[in-house]
């Protein structure tokens, strides 16, 4: 074997069999990993194409301004779209202050003691609880028990349930954002005589805000697709009106999609596809907003 | 500083959202001048759902300020809510069970049972099939039960040709499937799985009409629309062979593949103008819609009877406790003067 052969790589091909086998294994592994990656991408592409092909033709202006109907040509997503917007606004209003306050307490006030550890562990576990379980909780607590306040199967009950669902995610995201604020900032603030409240108010929170906001939006974009807990609290209904208050009955896009997709006629499947496009556009634009905010306000310390 | 601006912006946004939320709290359900408004809450059977949905849609077109919600919790789930007083109207594909009636009583919920339509099922073959006119429930059960070994017509009955039997039927998501399996096999959702299943009845119609040795079943309305392409079999439930027709389905003679569908209306609901209007609309405009969504409407006289029952209740004081069954006859007379509807 000459030196030239080795350099040109020919020698590699003619390497001893055990070495070749090892290299082959390496190659196989690389391909396995690549195809694993592609599975996700291909499925997403197939989904998008399928949905677009089926649904695009049904995305007319009337689709957004009409209520659901048994006649496909007359059906639209007005009540579902309004319901989803109502739900998202309420969820944001409820979960944001709760989540941020909890994160501030856990990061800034609670010491490293067993109370904090227990709470922290619980929050991490709650983030993994299946959403249907929150639905059952919401049905028992918000719909039945607090019915006189929430109005029973109302947007408010739905929003409270979904808020519980995303709170753990939100708290963890907010905690990470707060933790990312260097302690030198806090120490400088204390050094100038600021109290803990002043430090949190003027330095920690403003600096952690972009991160908190990103986390909130991502949590909300998880909430927007939630169906199971809402079916549990009874939002799976034919509704041809827009909620006028938090105590009104409602339906949301995923439920409307579910309803349409389960009908026998093809037209309703196309309607479902069109509604899926709307939902995906909402979801992707929320995620895009989160990424944009993160990049715009990101700070390297 | 950018972050501060963002911060302020957010605060403003949140405040606005909160304001919006609070501001909108009141207004729901307030009546306009003389215009019908308020909410009608319906829940219950998924079989009745298409009818109620159609009625709700048309009703709200006529009375835009009313808000009708229609849920699909199933007959049992619907009664659970109905008897706890949560809903005004409950869709049901069977009569209320004694245990459910007890729950209603315990919560002081008085109600009226109103029949709204017939649900029938047709067992169909290809018109070219000249060997079968009628099947007994037992034969149908042997064909359709889980693990059935019937592959050829000759296995169904002696004397039938030795041809492969090709089966078509609705998929498991269908209410027709639930009902057929319960009526024929004796257990809901118990069926053989090796048949061509489709949720779209039109596919079944095409399948049976294109295959001379086929057998299928689906909602009667689809058979009615496709009489030229299919032949419906008589079904022998023990009392001789009965052909499915609007008449035999209405009379209940076409047993066991026909059943009445109901709505249950609470007295507390009927006291509300919008609920009363809704139920009346259901019984007057409903028959057209019943046909449109694929069921068999009641006889016009029967609708009139049900209507008078409801009107009588709404006119009279609905508080006195009574068994709903007795009410029908007694109230019919009082309500006769109500409206001179044709």
Identify the residue with better confidence: A234 or A255. A255
pLDDT of residue A16: 85
> In chain A, how many domains are there?
2
The reply to whether residue B71 touches residue A241, judged by beta carbons under 8 angstroms, is no
Q: Is B152 helix (H, G, I), strand (E, B) or coil?
A: strand
Nearest beta carbon to residue B3 from set A70, A245, A297: A297
Q: Are residues A16 and A93 in the same domain?
A: no
pLDDT of residue B121: 86
* Residue of chain A nearest B60, judged by CA positions: A240
The stretches of B97-238 forming alpha helices (DSSP H) are 98-106, 137-144, 175-180, 201-209, 220-225
Could you report the per-residue pLDDT of B225-241, keeping only the tens digit for each?
Answer: 788 889 999 999 888 89
For A186-206, b/e burial (b = at least 16 CB within 10 A) is beebeeeebeeeebbeebbbb
Residues of B in contact with A212 (CB under 8 A): none
Could you report the per-residue pLDDT of A153-180, keeping only the tens digit for each?
Answer: 889 999 999 999 999 999 999 999 999 9
Q: Does A239 touch chain B (CB under 8 A)?
A: yes
Q: Please tell me the distance from the alpha carbon of residue A80 to that of residue A242, in angstroms, as a whole number.
A: 8
Q: Does A92 touch chain B (CB under 8 A)?
A: yes
The reply to whether residue A209 touches residue B6, judged by beta carbons under 8 angstroms, is yes
Q: Does B39 touch chain A (CB under 8 A)?
A: yes
Output the six-digit token pair for A147.
Answer: 């019915």
Residue B150, min C-alpha distance to chain A (Å): 28
Q: Are B156 and B150 in contact (CB under 8 A)?
A: yes
Please indicate whether the domains covering B36-118+259-335 and B120-258 agree at the CATH topology level. yes
Nearest beta carbon to residue B3 from set A209, A234, A236: A209
* Residue of chain A nearest B77, judged by CA positions: A234
The reply to whether residue B54 touches residue A249, judged by beta carbons under 8 angstroms, is no
Sequence ranges of the domains in chain B: 36-118+259-335, 120-258
Question: What residues of chain B, 127 to 156, have a C-beta less than 8 Å from chain A?
Answer: none
Nearest beta carbon to residue A69 from set B7, B18, B57: B57
Model confidence at B333: pLDDT above 90? no
Could you report the per-residue pLDDT of A215-236, keeping only the tens digit for each?
Answer: 999 999 989 988 889 988 876 6
pLDDT of residue A216: 92
CA dihedral A132, A135, A136, A141 (to 10 degrees): 160
Mean pLDDT of chain B: 80
Mean pLDDT of chain A: 88
pLDDT of residue B170: 85
Q: Give how far Cα A219 sits from Cα of A123, A127, A165, A214, A287, Å.
A: 14, 11, 9, 9, 10
pLDDT of residue B8: 52
pLDDT of residue B60: 92
The reply to whether residue A264 touches residue B200, judged by beta carbons under 8 angstroms, is yes
CATH number of B36-118+259-335: 3.40.190.10
pLDDT of residue A4: 58
The reply to whether residue A210 touches residue B173, judged by beta carbons under 8 angstroms, is no
Percent of chain A with pLDDT over 70: 93
Model confidence at B15: pLDDT above 80? no
Model confidence at A139: pLDDT above 50? yes
Q: Does A265 touch chain B (CB under 8 A)?
A: yes
Q: Residue A29: which pLDDT band, with cuts at 50, 70 and 90?
A: very high
Q: For the residues of B77-135, what is the DSSP string, one character each?
A: HHHHHHHTT--SEEEESSPPPHHHHHHHHHTT--EEEEEEEEEEEEEEE-TT--S-SEE
Identify the residue with better confidence: B225 or B99. B99
pLDDT of residue A155: 92
Output the six-digit token pair for B332.
Answer: 């019919």
Could you report the per-residue pLDDT of B137-157, keeping only the tens digit for each?
Answer: 999 999 999 988 889 999 998
Domain ranges, residue A14: 3-58
Q: Please tell me the distance from the alpha carbon of residue B205 to that of residue B242, in angstroms, as a whole number.
A: 21
CA dihedral B106, B111, B113, B114 (to 10 degrees): -150
Could you report the per-residue pLDDT of A30-69, keeping only the tens digit for each?
Answer: 999 999 999 999 999 999 999 999 889 899 999 999 899 8
Q: Are residues A190 and A168 in the same domain?
A: yes
- Phi then psi for A130, rounded to 5 degrees? -60, 145
Q: Residue A269: which pLDDT band, with cuts at 50, 70 and 90?
A: confident
pLDDT of residue A77: 93
Nearest beta carbon to residue A237 from set B6, B21, B69: B69
Output the six-digit token pair for A252.
Answer: 């949301």
Residues of A in contact with B7 (CB under 8 A): 205-206, 209
pLDDT of residue B326: 41
pLDDT of residue B316: 55
Residues of A in contact with B52 (CB under 8 A): 238
Q: Are residues A94 and A117 in the same domain?
A: yes
pLDDT of residue B108: 92
Q: Indicate which CATH number applies to the domain containing A137.
A: 1.10.3720.10
> pTM of the full predicted structure?
0.72
- Count of A-B CB contacts under 8 Å: 93
Q: Are residues A20 and A142 in the same domain?
A: no
Average pLDDT over residues B260-286: 92
Model confidence at B317: pLDDT above 60? no
Question: Best of B22, B69, B206, B219 to disrupt the A interface by mutation (most A CBs within 10 Å)?
Answer: B69
pLDDT of residue B47: 78
Of A18, A41, A58, the one marking the end of a domain is A58
pLDDT of residue B332: 38
Q: Give how far Cα A226 sits from Cα of A173, B106, B141, Å.
A: 19, 36, 41
Question: Kindly report the CA angle at A77 between A74 and A78, in degrees rounded to 5?
Answer: 100
* Residue of chain B nearest A232, judged by CA positions: B73
Q: Give how far Cα A64 sits from Cα of A80, A108, A111, A230, B200, Å.
A: 9, 46, 51, 22, 27
Q: Are residues A181 and A122 in the same domain?
A: yes
Model confidence at B323: pLDDT above 80? no
Could you report the per-residue pLDDT of B41-76, keeping only the tens digit for each?
Answer: 999 887 788 899 999 999 999 999 899 999 888 888
Question: Best of B1, B2, B3, B47 to disrupt the A interface by mutation (most A CBs within 10 Å)?
Answer: B3
Average pLDDT over residues A182-192: 93
Q: Are residues A128 and A173 in the same domain?
A: yes
DSSP-derived secondary structure letter, A110? S
Of A36, A58, A80, the one marking the end of a domain is A58
CATH number of B120-258: 3.40.190.10
Average pLDDT over residues A18-29: 91
Nearest beta carbon to residue B71 from set A69, A234, A264: A234
| Count of alpha carbons within 13 angstroms of residue B3, beta-carbon side | 18
Model confidence at B126: pLDDT above 80? yes
Residues in contact with A44: Cβ distance below 8 Å, sequence separation at least 6, in sequence order: none
Instruction: Tell me how crowded residue A97 is: count the other CB atoms within 10 A of its CB.
Output: 12
Q: Does A248 touch chain B (CB under 8 A)?
A: yes
Q: Does B200 touch chain A (CB under 8 A)?
A: yes
Residues of A in contact with B24 (CB under 8 A): 244-246
Question: What residues of chain B, 260 to 289, have a C-beta less than 8 Å from chain A?
Answer: none
The reply to whether residue A210 touches residue B6, judged by beta carbons under 8 angstroms, is yes
Model confidence at B296: pLDDT above 90? no
Q: Are residues A160 and A221 in the same domain?
A: yes
Q: Does B87 touch chain A (CB under 8 A)?
A: no
Residues of B in contact with A148 (CB under 8 A): none
Question: What residues of chain A, 21 to 50, have a C-beta less than 8 Å from chain B?
Answer: none
The reply to whether residue A209 touches residue B7, judged by beta carbons under 8 angstroms, is yes
The reply to whether residue B57 touches residue A262, judged by beta carbons under 8 angstroms, is no
Q: Are residues A30 and A169 in the same domain?
A: no
Could you report the per-residue pLDDT of A276-301, keeping only the tens digit for each?
Answer: 999 999 999 999 998 898 888 877 66
Output the six-digit token pair for A82.
Answer: 């309004």
Nearest beta carbon to residue A70 from set B21, B41, B57: B57
Q: Does B204 touch chain A (CB under 8 A)?
A: no
Q: Are residues A249 and A285 in the same domain?
A: yes
Residues of B in contact with A237 (CB under 8 A): 43, 69-72
Q: Does B32 touch chain A (CB under 8 A)?
A: no
């Amino acid at each position: 074997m000459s030196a030239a052969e080795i350099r040109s790589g020919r020698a590699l091909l003619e390497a001893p069999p055990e070495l070749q086998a090892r290299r082959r294994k390496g190659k196989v592994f690389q391909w396995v990993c690549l195809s694993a990656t592609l599975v996700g991408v291909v499925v997403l592409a197939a989904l998008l194409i399928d949905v677009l092909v089926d649904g695009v033709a049904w995305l007319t202006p009337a689709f957004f301004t009409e209520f659901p109907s048994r006649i496909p040509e007359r059906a639209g997503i007005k009540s579902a779209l309004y319901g989803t917007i109502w739900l998202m606004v309420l969820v944001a209003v409820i979960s944001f202050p709760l989540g941020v306050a909890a994160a501030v307490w856990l990061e800034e006030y609670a010491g490293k003691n067993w109370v904090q550890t227990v709470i922290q562990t619980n929050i991490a576990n709650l983030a993994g609880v299946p959403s249907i379980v929150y639905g059952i909780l919401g049905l028992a607590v918000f719909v039945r028990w607090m019915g006189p306040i929430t109005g029973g199967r109302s947007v408010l009950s739905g929003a409270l349930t979904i808020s519980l669902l995303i709170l753990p995610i939100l708290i963890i995201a907010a905690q990470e954002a707060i933790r990312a604020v260097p302690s030198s900032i806090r120490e400088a603030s204390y050094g100038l005589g600021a109290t803990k409240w002043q430090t949190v108010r003027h330095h920690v929170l403003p600096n952690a805000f972009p991160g908190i906001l990103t986390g909130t939006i991502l949590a909300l974009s998880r909430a927007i697709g939630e169906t199971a807990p809402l079916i549990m609290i009874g939002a799976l209904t034919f509704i041809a009106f827009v909620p006028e208050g938090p105590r009104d009955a409602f339906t949301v896009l995923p439920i409307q999609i579910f309803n349409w997709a389960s009908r026998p006629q093809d037209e309703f499947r196309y309607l479902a596809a069109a509604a899926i496009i709307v939902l995906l556009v909402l979801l992707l634009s929320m995620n895009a907003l989160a990424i944009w905010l993160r990049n715009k306000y990101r700070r390297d310390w | 500083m950018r972050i501060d601006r963002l911060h302020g912006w957010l605060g403003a946004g949140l405040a606005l959202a909160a304001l919006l939320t609070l501001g909108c709290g009141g207004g729901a359900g307030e009546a306009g001048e003389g215009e019908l408004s308020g909410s009608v809450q319906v829940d219950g059977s998924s079989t009745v759902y298409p009818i109620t949905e159609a009625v709700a849609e048309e009703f709200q077109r006529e009375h835009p300020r009313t808000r009708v919600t229609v849920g699909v919790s199933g007959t049992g789930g619907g009664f659970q809510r109905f008897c706890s007083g949560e809903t005004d109207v409950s869709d049901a594909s069977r009569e209320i069970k004694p245990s459910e009636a007890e729950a209603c009583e315990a919560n002081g919920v008085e109600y009226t049972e109103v029949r709204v339509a017939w649900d029938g099922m047709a067992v169909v073959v290809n018109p070219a099939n000249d060997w079968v006119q009628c099947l007994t429930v037992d034969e149908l059960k042997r064909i359709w039960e889980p693990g059935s070994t019937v592959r050829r017509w000759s296995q169904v009955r002696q004397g039938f040709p030795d041809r492969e039997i090709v089966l078509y039927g609705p998929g498991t998501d269908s209410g027709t499937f639930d009902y057929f399996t319960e009526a024929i096999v004796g257990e809901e959702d118990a069926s053989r799985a090796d048949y061509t299943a489709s949720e779209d009845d039109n596919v079944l119609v095409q399948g049976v009409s294109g295959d001379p040795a086929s057998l299928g079943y689906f909602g009667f309305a689809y058979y009615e629309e496709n009489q030229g392409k299919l032949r419906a079999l008589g079904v022998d439930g023990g009392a001789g062979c009965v052909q499915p027709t609007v008449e035999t389905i209405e009379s209940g003679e076409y047993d066991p593949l026909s059943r009445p569908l109901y709505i249950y209306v609470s007295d507390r609901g009927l006291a509300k103008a919008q609920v009363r209007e809704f139920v009346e609309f259901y019984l007057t405009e409903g028959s057209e819609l019943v046909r449109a969504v694929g069921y068999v409407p009641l006889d016009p006289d029967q609708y009139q009877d049900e209507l008078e029952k409801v009107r009588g209740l709404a006119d009279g004081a609905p508080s006195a406790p009574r068994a709903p069954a007795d009410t029908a006859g007694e109230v019919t007379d009082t309500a006769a003067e109500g409206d001179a509807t044709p």
